[in-house]
Every structure is written in structure tokens, then in C-alpha cells.
Amino acid sequence: MKIAGIQKVTLLDFPGKVACMIFTQGCNLCCPFCQNSSLIPTKEKSNMTVDEVLDYLNLRKKILDGIVITGGEPLVQKDIKDLLRNIKELGLLIKIDTNGTYPLILKEIIEEGLVDYVAMDIKNVDSKYMMTVGKKINIDNIKKSIDILKSSKIDYEFRTTLVKEFHNFEDIKKICELVGKDSKYYLQNFEDSSDVINHNLHGFTRGELLLIYENIKKNFPNVEIRALS
């Protein structure tokens, strides 16, 4: 298990919960707008051991409601299920952030009761997916993961980081049609940071984003903007 580190407390990343974030090291995609690009490469050694993480969580389990496991891509970790089981034994809720490229593992952890909330990134429409993620992928796996979440009984959300160079109104509308009216879907505007791959990308202006949102919201009531500045 490759663990890059932890954020001891977050009030924002697990809706309604006081949580700790675990960052896994390694991702199968290479999105140029990734805010955690330093977590993309797979490294031989972890910055923290699983035992160190579990020891910390054990000390804090009476204060924390749950754990957010993010990355990188958590489901690329071969022993992710062992970590989830250990966390569950502490009595904590688990939220996982995923890019949806591992539907079989996603289905397994849901069916085994190892996850309580899933946030899945939908990077773009089919025709732009590979351009957006920087890798060749199987689009069918994305669609399978969407269907798995929609048919599950756990809490979930879909989300898209909006980048002017990759997205337009029609793209967002098509994604909404894909996830359906009943799913929570968040629009997240791209913001440059020191850890992105491509610093020549741009988010939408506040006015542009609001216009997109207002037009989408008419037909898709569960769409929201996250962290509009």
C-alpha cells in the first residue's frame, strides 16, 4: 500500500462529517489539470506505513466521524480492501474518491460494505476523454462505474473539474444526461496551483460558470457548483 500522507482533519471533503484524509500514491491517469500531480507517479516506498496510519486513526476515532481516501487513485492499490477493512474495524465511515476506471473493485467494496460514500470524477464526454485524462482508457469502465453507483444503496456523487480548454456547455449537458437527473453532480472550476501539470490551462469566469449552471439547472435539479469563488 503506497501512502503519501494524511491530512489530520477536514470538514469539507466528507459531506456532513469530521474526517481525516488519506492520500494514496499512484494514479493510472495523467490529467494535466490534476491538483495532486505529485501523487500520480508510483513510488517504491511509502511516506507512511499502514500501521502508522491505523495507529493515528485509533487515537482519533472518538473525534473523527470518517475517513476520506483520495489520491492519486485509491483503487489502483492492490491491498486497498485490506486497508478499508482495518478502518471499518475502528468503527469509522469511509469515503473514497475515484476516477471510475476500476468498476470491478468498486463493485466489490460496495457489496462487501467497505465504503459508505463514493465521489467519482467524470472527466469529460466520450470523444474528449482520452485527451482530458492524458491516457488511453476503456470508456466502458467509466460507464460501468456510473451504473454501479446509480444502482447501489450507498451515498455517492459525480463531479467534473471544468477547464476552458477541455469543456463547453454541450459537454456538461451530455455528462448530466449520462449521470441522470437523480444523481448529485458537482461542477468544480479549475484553479491553477503549484502541483498541476499544465499551468497554461484556465477555469471559467464566475459569470461564465453561473450561466452554464443556470441553464443546466433547469433540466437537472441536482447539479450544483462547488467552491465558487
Give the whole-number percent of the chain exceeding pLDDT 70.
99
Q: What is the pLDDT of residue 229?
A: 52
pLDDT digits (tens, 9 = 90+) for 126-179: 999 999 999 999 999 999 999 999 999 999 999 999 999 999 999 999 999 999
Average pLDDT of the chain to the nearest whole number: 95
Q: What is the pLDDT of residue 197?
A: 86
pLDDT digits (tens, 9 = 90+) for 123-140: 999 999 999 999 999 999
User: Does the pLDDT at position 91 exceed 60?
Assistant: yes
Pick the CATH number of 3-226 from 1.10.3720.10, 1.10.238.10, 3.20.20.70, 3.40.50.2300: 3.20.20.70
Domain boundaries, given as residue ranges, for the chain: 3-226
pLDDT digits (tens, 9 = 90+) for 33-81: 998 999 999 887 788 999 999 999 999 999 999 999 999 999 999 999 9
pLDDT digits (tens, 9 = 90+) for 4-20: 999 999 999 999 999 99
Provide mean pLDDT across the span 180-209. Answer: 93
Yes or no: say if 217 and 172 are a contact pair by the CB < 8 Å rule: no
Q: Which residues contact 173 (CB under 8 A, 6 or more apart)?
A: 216
Yes or no: say if 132 and 154 are a contact pair by the CB < 8 Å rule: no
Three-state SS at 145 = helix
The DSSP 8-state label assigned to residue 132 in this structure reads H
User: Does the pLDDT at position 214 exceed 90?
Assistant: yes
User: Does the pLDDT at position 227 exceed 80?
Assistant: no
User: Does the pLDDT at position 94 exceed 80?
Assistant: yes
Q: Burial level of 220, CB count in 10 A (0-12/13-18/19+)?
A: buried
Q: What is the pLDDT of residue 195?
A: 85
